[in-house]
Amino acid sequence: MCAEGTQVANATKKATMGDSRSAGKIVFCSVFFISFLAVCSLAMSSNLFEYLDQFQRAQHRKELQNELGLSVTRSVWTGSLKPDRLLDVRSEIEPMFLAAPKNQVGRISSSVVRYIAYRYFSHKYGWRIKGFEPHRANVTSLSSARILQTQLPKYCETVLEGTLASTGFALDDVAMLLASVAQLVFDEIVSTTEQAYHLNGIAVSEPLSKDAMLGVVNSYLIESMMEGNFTNAEQHELDKEYIHELYPQWATTQIFINDIVTADAEQKHYKSNGYTRGMKRPYTFEETARLMTKISEDFGPWVNYECQNMKEALGQYDIHHTGRVKLSDFYSEGQKGVHHLIESAEYLRALGVLDETDAALGPQVITSNYILGDSNCLMSTPQYSVCCMNECDGVMGDLEKRLLSPEASPAQLWEAMGHVAALRASKPLETNGTLHNQLFEIAAQNEESMVPIHGRLFAQWLHFVFPRECMYPMTPGAVAPKTIGEWIETEGSPQVPEEELQKLMDSSAAKVPPSPQAGRKMWIIKEELMTSSTESDKWLESFVRTLAAMVLVTATMVIVVRSLGRVRSRFSGKSKSADMVEV
């Protein structure tokens, strides 16, 4: 009897343990399966996004081509979306993209795309695409660029402000967008060339002599410089008559135009056959428009020599290399007649080029801000302006290629600055100096003690390293720059009144010599970072939180099941003991 009771008890115990183990195995398998799904989902997320990239890029390219259509005149400027042109754009922006702040899956936001677009066009052509300007820091929408809003409204709505704004832009997305903007600009140049024909009363079907062709080109440039509308022929005749007074370097510009026309003619000469060489061939509209696109491509980099001349002229008054010139000295240089330095203090203040932080020194013009300001944009169209080229882009480019990261430690940045080839610092960088300490001051604003290289504070630091080349970054909303034409429309003349000029020249501030302390009070600890996150970050965070919750619930179930198993085992053990006693 006792032996039989013992056998029953053992059998029951084994069954109980079997049930417990089975339940444990089921729970373990559940936990393993959910964890496996979580790990696979996270591991495959980048591959999944890459696959979606390829699919979406093909769709976006098709939409772009449909909305862009063909270039206005294919023989003038063929499509910018051709593979070779896309590769050129991609290779130029790749270092910027690699060093840019990104979202959680390695893409960049619309704000960062605007920043890259601004730098790309400024550095390559001297173009400032309207809507991508840096002073629009509170604008994140890409459709704020007028050329995209007016020419690609559907693409803006469905792609730029839809899919890509949510998931972020991959490198190829950015290259495609910038190539498209370039295509639109060149198409506009062709359209504006046609308006220049009409302004001169010439039909686009009429072949032109070289002189007549140059007349059309000059009309294009004059009206663009005057921010004209190409419809008032009478006003245009006056503009042509006074262009030498309005733009003293006009004669030099004619040399630049003739150089391009001559080089183009020589190229054609070598390509032509023996029967056509030496003949004076008439210029068709397509040929004139093609020359105009070439002039527009090269005009920004070429005219930048004027910016350098202005920088050198103002630098004579900046004896301490602070990047600042007394306002009275600024006007004194303007009175020499070489440069039109005649803007009023009110207009300069709106441009963000006045340093008024030290009353004892009086108002100072920040030369880098002034030279790169809207008032020095030589040409302005509804879509873009041709402005001075930013030398500080070279510094950023060198740093980005070396760091390949959106942030760096003060030590890494200090070491990288020793390899900047674009510019040389005005003074030797000393490890125990103010500039070195300020890098650590910037890093202290961030939890990880790193310096964001695309933030406002680092731009401010670069200004003090290269005061004549790198702009001082005004705080967001502090300035509202306008071109001279825009200012005239809303505020009147931007020129300093004679009585205001005389009052300044007679003031005590005008008699104070330049100070090495100029600008010191403009060092302010106020950071501003580009928005790098996108809507997809929220989705990913939500997904990870959900998986974590599932794992937590499953783990809790394991604990509960195991606890129930132990309780059941103890209860079964007590029951069997009682049965054996009865037996």
Q: In whole angstroms, give the CA distance from residue 465 to residue 453.
A: 14
Which residues partner with 345 through β-bridges? Answer: none
Q: In whole angstroms, give the CA distance from residue 22 to residue 80.
A: 65
Strands (E), 367-436: 379-380, 384-386, 407-408
Q: How many CA atoms lie within 13 A of 263 on its CB side?
A: 9
Helix (DSSP H) and strand (DSSP E) numbers for the chain = 22, 8
- Say yes or no to pLDDT of 46 above 60: no
Q: Find how far residue 528's CA is from the centre of its chain.
A: 15
β-pair type (379-380, 354-355): unpaired
Average pLDDT for the chain:
80
| Number of Cβ within a 10 Å radius of residue 322 | 22
Q: Report angle CA 520, 521, 523 to the nearest 5 degrees.
A: 80
Q: pTM value?
A: 0.79
pLDDT-derived band at 210, boundaries 50, 70, 90: very high
Q: In whole angstroms, give the CA distance from residue 71 to residue 80.
A: 9
Q: In whole angstroms, give the CA distance from residue 247 to residue 369.
A: 21
Q: For the chain, percent helix, then strand, then coil, each to nearest 5? A: 65, 5, 30
Tokens at 445, concatenated: 């604003």
| Number of Cβ within a 10 Å radius of residue 157 | 12
**Is residue 329 a contact partner of residue 339, using CB atoms and an 8 Å limit?**
no
Q: In whole angstroms, give the CA distance from residue 95 to residue 92.
A: 7
Helix (H) or strand (E) holding 110: helix 110-125
* Mean pLDDT, rounded, for 524-530: 92
pLDDT at 73: 43
Helix (H) or strand (E) holding 220: helix 210-225
pLDDT at 574: 54
pLDDT-derived band at 124, boundaries 50, 70, 90: very high
Q: Token pair 């022929």 is at which residue? A: 233
pLDDT-derived band at 581, boundaries 50, 70, 90: very low
Q: In whole angstroms, give the CA distance from residue 91 to residue 124.
A: 13
Q: Among 113-122, 162-171, 192-201, 358-367, name the one with the lowest average pLDDT.
A: 162-171
Q: CB under 8 Å to 166, separation ≥6 — which residues?
A: 534, 535, 536
pLDDT at 544: 52
